[in-house]
Amino acid sequence: MATDINNNFDLESDAISEVHGIKFGLVVSAWNKSITDNLYDGAYKTLLKYGAKNVNIKKIEVPGSFELIYGCKKMQNSDVDVIIAIGCIIKGETDHYNYICQSVSNGITQLNIINNIPIVFCVLTDHNVQQSINRSGGKHGNKGIESAVAAIKIACIK
């Protein structure tokens, strides 16, 4: 359920002035591709909007959301300042959804703890396809846009 809280996803001018020098890594799951493509597009366009250079945005694709952990780990060993993990997990008829959601969130948490390159969590964990559509450019906005702004903000922390 969406909230009526209006989260502020604008950037202060000092953060915007630093964006051109930040190197971004986007790790994108190919599972539920239409959803993750929308999230990626939202993140990518937002980074460019705020001044990121195209040459400073690196993308790798992984098979599914579980593989985001490995993809982010590999990306942390490359020349990036911040990573956005983009995935979509939709509940099915079995407990698989619970295991994948927990594993992905725990894995990314651990990478954030043990490494110095921050990872922003842009993984939808919805109960049906419509919820994912609503959060990837539909009536609830695009969480890729919000994640890009969060990535800029976290990269600017000194």
Catalytic hit among 20, 96, 127, 140: 96
CB 8 within 8 A of CB 60: no
Per domain, the residue ranges of the chain are 21-155
Residue 103, amino acid: S
Q: Which residues contact 33 (CB under 8 A, 6 or more apart)?
A: none
Q: What backbone phi and psi angles, to 5 degrees, belong to 26? A: -115, 120
The one-character DSSP state at 64 is: S
- The CATH code belonging to domain 21-155 is 3.40.50.960
Q: pTM for the full model?
A: 0.90
| Residue 51 to residue 45: CA distance in whole angstroms | 10
pLDDT tens for each residue of 84-140: 999 999 998 888 888 999 999 999 999 999 999 999 999 999 999 999 998 988 899
In the chain, what percentage of residues exceed pLDDT 70? Answer: 89
CB 134 within 8 A of CB 140: yes
Question: Average pLDDT in the 32-50 region?
Answer: 95
96 part of the active site: yes
Using DSSP bridges, classify how beta strands 57-62 and 24-29 pair: parallel, antiparallel or unpaired: parallel
Classify 66 as helix, strand or coil. coil
